[in-house]
C-alpha cells in the first residue's frame, strides 16, 4: 500500500464546528525502532505491547475560520496553555496536511491530559500523537459523511467509512507525528515496519499482530519503575539521527527483523525463557547503540543498572519469568506473567523501590488500544 491511498478527495467542509475525544494508550517496544529514513520510515520492523493504564486523552474542538493561509490552533495540557507543545504540532500539521486537507479550514483547540504524571519520564508522544491523529480522523469522517449524504460515489464510502481504513490512516498519520505512536492505536501486540513473515506489515503504519498468541502472554504485566523523571538529555529524534553513519547500524538493522521472527516463534510456543532473552537483549542493544553513537550518550542511570542486577539475581534464585526492558530513558519496565503479580510487587516494595525517584512506580499491563469517548 502506498501513501497515495491516504490522500483525501477535497471535501466541501460544510461542517461549521464540533469536537471529538479519543483516549490512546502508550506502548512498550519488545523489538525496538531505533533509526529511521526520510519521512519517518523505520530502518527495521518493531513490535510492541500496547499498554492499558498509561494513556493520553485528547479532545479536539474545531470551528470554521475565514483565513485559509495558516494553521491555527491552541494546545492545553490539563487545562493550561502549553506553548512549548506548539512547534511539534505545527510540524505534524505540515507533514499531514496533504492527507488532511481540512487542516487550514478550521481553528483547533486541542485539550490533552495524561493518566501518568507529565514529569514521570514516560514519553507522552506515542499516546499523544495517536490520540490527536484519531481526533483528526474523526473530523475527516464527519466531513466525509456530510459530503456522502449528497454524493453518489461509493469510493468515499469505501475509504472512510470502514473501520479498518480509519484505523490504518490514523496510524499512518500518528507515525508522521512520532514513529512509535503508530503502534498505540490497537492492541495487544502491534507490528510496525515491513517484515516478510508478517502478513499486512508495513513501513507506513502499525498493524495488529495477525497470528495467535500463546496464553502465557494473556494479561501480561508491565510495572514501570520511575528511576529518573527528568527531561531526557538527548531526544529520540536526535538519537535516531545518530544511527546514520553509525558503525554498527547495518548489523543492527539486520538483527531486528531476526528478533521479530524469533518472537513470532515465542508467541506461538509460549517459551518465556526465549522471550526474556530476546527482550532483554533488545533493550541493552538499544542502549548500546546510544553509547556507540558519535557523539555518544548514556540514558541509563546508576539505579537502572542496580534494578537490572536485582532482577537477574531474583530470577537466579526463583523460577520467576520476570524480565526488563527499557525505552529511550532511565526507567525500567518490568514485564511478567499475571500469576507472578503478588510476588513481583513484593520484590519491588522490598528491594527495588529504593532505586525509584521518590519511590514511584506505575503498575500497568497489556491493553487493547485506543477508544473514542
Q: Which residues bind ligand DP6 (CB under 6 A)?
A: 29, 32-34, 40, 46, 123, 125, 178-180, 236-237, 240, 286, 327-328
Which CB atom, from 6 or from 20, has the smaller least distance to ligand DP6? 6
CB of 55 to ligand DP6, least distance (A): 16
Which CB atom, from 59 or from 184, has the smaller least distance to ligand DP6? 184
Which CB atom, from 15 or from 207, has the smaller least distance to ligand DP6? 207
Residue 64 has phi, psi (to 5 degrees) of -60, 140
Which CB atom, from 51 or from 322, has the smaller least distance to ligand DP6? 51
C-alpha closest to that of 364 among 328, 344, 246, 106: 344
Judged on CB neighbours under 10 Å (0-12, 13-18, 19+), 81 is exposed
DSSP-derived pairing of the beta strands 72-77 and 106-114:
parallel
CB of 223 to ligand DP6, least distance (A): 18
Q: What are 79's strand-pairing partners?
A: none
End-to-end CA distance of the chain: 30
C-alpha closest to that of 315 among 365, 357, 261, 273: 273
CB of 273 to ligand DP6, least distance (A): 23
CB of 231 to ligand DP6, least distance (A): 14
Which CB atom, from 33 or from 220, has the smaller least distance to ligand DP6? 33
Q: How far apart are CA 54 and CA 126, in angstroms?
A: 11
Which CB atom, from 148 or from 234, has the smaller least distance to ligand DP6? 234
Dihedral angle of Cα 15, 16, 17, 23, to the nearest 10 degrees: 20
CB of 236 to ligand DP6, least distance (A): 4
DSSP-derived pairing of the beta strands 206-208 and 332-336:
unpaired
Using CB positions, name the residue nearest to ligand DP6.
Answer: 179
CB of 89 to ligand DP6, least distance (A): 13
Amino acid at each position: 500500500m502506498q501513501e497515495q491511498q491516504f490522500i483525501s478527495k477535497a471535501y466541501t467542509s460544510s461542517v461549521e464546528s464540533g469536537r471529538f475525544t479519543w483516549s490512546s494508550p502508550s506502548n512498550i517496544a519488545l523489538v525496538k525502532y531505533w533509526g529511521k529514513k526520510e519521512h519517518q520510515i523505520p530502518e527495521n520492523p518493531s513490535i510492541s505491547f500496547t499498554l492499558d493504564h498509561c494513556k493520553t486523552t485528547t479532545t479536539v474542538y474545531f470551528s470554521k475560520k475565514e483565513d485559509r493561509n495558516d494553521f491555527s490552533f491552541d494546545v492545553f495540557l490539563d487545562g493550561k496553555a502549553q506553548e512549548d507543545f506548539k512547534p511539534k504540532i505545527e510540524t505534524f500539521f505540515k507533514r499531514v496536511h496533504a492527507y488532511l486537507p481540512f487542516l487550514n479550514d478550521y481553528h483547533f483547540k486541542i485539550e490533552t491530559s495524561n493518566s501518568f504524571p507529565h514529569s514521570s519520564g514516560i514519553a507522552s508522544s506515542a499516546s499523544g500523537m495517536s490520540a490527536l491523529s484519531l481526533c483528526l480522523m474523526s473530523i475527516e469522517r464527519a466531513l466525509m459523511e456530510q459530503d456522502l449524504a449528497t454524493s453518489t460515489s461509493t469510493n468515499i464510502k469505501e475509504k472512510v467509512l470502514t473501520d479498518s481504513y480509519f484505523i490504518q490512516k490514523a496510524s499512518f498519520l500518528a507515525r508522521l507525528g512520532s514513529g512509535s505512536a503508530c503502534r498505540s492505536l490497537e492492541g495487544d501486540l502491534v507490528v510496525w515496519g515491513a517484515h516478510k513473515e508478517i502478513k499486512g506489515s508495513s513501513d507506513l503504519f502499525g498493524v495488529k499482530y495477525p497470528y495467535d498468541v500463546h496464553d502465557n502472554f494473556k494479561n501480561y504485566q508491565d510495572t514501570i519503575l520511575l528511576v529518573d523523571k527528568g527531561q531526557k538529555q538527548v531526544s529520540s529524534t536526535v538519537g535516531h539521527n545518530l544511527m546514520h553513519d553509525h558503525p554498527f547500524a547495518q548489523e543492527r538493522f539486520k538483527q531486528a527483523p531476526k528478533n521479530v521472527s524469533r518472537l513470532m516463534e515465542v508467541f506461538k510456543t509460549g517459551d518465556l525463557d526465549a522471550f526474556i532473552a530476546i527482550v532483554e537483549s533488545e533493550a541493552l542493544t538499544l542502549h548500546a547503540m546510544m553509547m556507540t553513537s558519535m557523539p555518544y550518550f548514556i540514558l541509563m542511570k546508576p539505579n537502572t543498572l542496580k534494578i537490572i542486577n536485582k532482577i537477574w539475581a531474583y530470577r537466579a534464585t526463583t523460577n520467576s519469568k520476570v524480565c526488563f526492558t527499557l525505552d529511550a530513558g532511565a526507567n525500567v519496565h518490568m514485564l511478567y506473567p499475571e500469576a507472578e503479580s503478588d510476588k513481583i510487587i513484593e520484590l519491588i516494595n522490598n528491594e527495588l523501590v529504593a532505586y525509584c525517584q521518590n519511590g514511584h512506580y506505575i503498575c500497568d499491563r497489556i491493553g487493547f488500544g485506543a477508544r473514542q469517548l
